[in-house]
Amino acid sequence: MNHEIEILLIEDNKNDAELTIRALKKNNLANKLVHLKDGAEAIDFIFAEGNYSGRKVENIPKVILLDLKMPKVNGIEVLKKIKADERTKKIPVVILTSSKEDPDIQECYRLGVNSYVVKPVQFEEFVKSVSELGLYWIISNQPPR
């Protein structure tokens, strides 16, 4: 399994994306990061379609950080597609969202999400949460082969 990218960040909010990337860079975890701005682009990237047809689906990230509330295709739809496909269902997916709504949490876990993290409002807490997520999923977690 070739990890040409380690972290796939799917986040439409520019500020949240910048904070996430900054927090990961602080721990030297953003060298192999790809940021996508909506669910439709994410699906194309993950499944090597559209603008990403030259990519190999087998080059999966070590972890996907996925927002829920996005334009075009929402995060739950992206999660459904990832977990329904044999080629991608083992990719760890972490929901990183501002939604504390119980139906969202329940649905994500029903679909097979690996973790659900509500974005902290305070900057320092946000940076700490993202740093810990990155360290765990990139350094500590042992992915299936």
Class of domain 7-137: alpha beta
Q: 13: buried, middle or exposed (CB in 10 Å: 19+, 13-18, 0-12)?
A: middle
Q: Could you give the angle at the alpha carbon of 55 between the alpha carbons of 61 and 5, nearest 5°?
A: 25
Q: What is the mean pLDDT of each run of 10 residues along the chain (145 residues)?
A: 76 92 86 93 95 89 94 95 95 90 94 90 80 81 72
pLDDT of residue 63: 93
- Statement: the pTM of the whole predicted model exceeds 0.85: yes
Extents of the domains making up the chain: 7-137
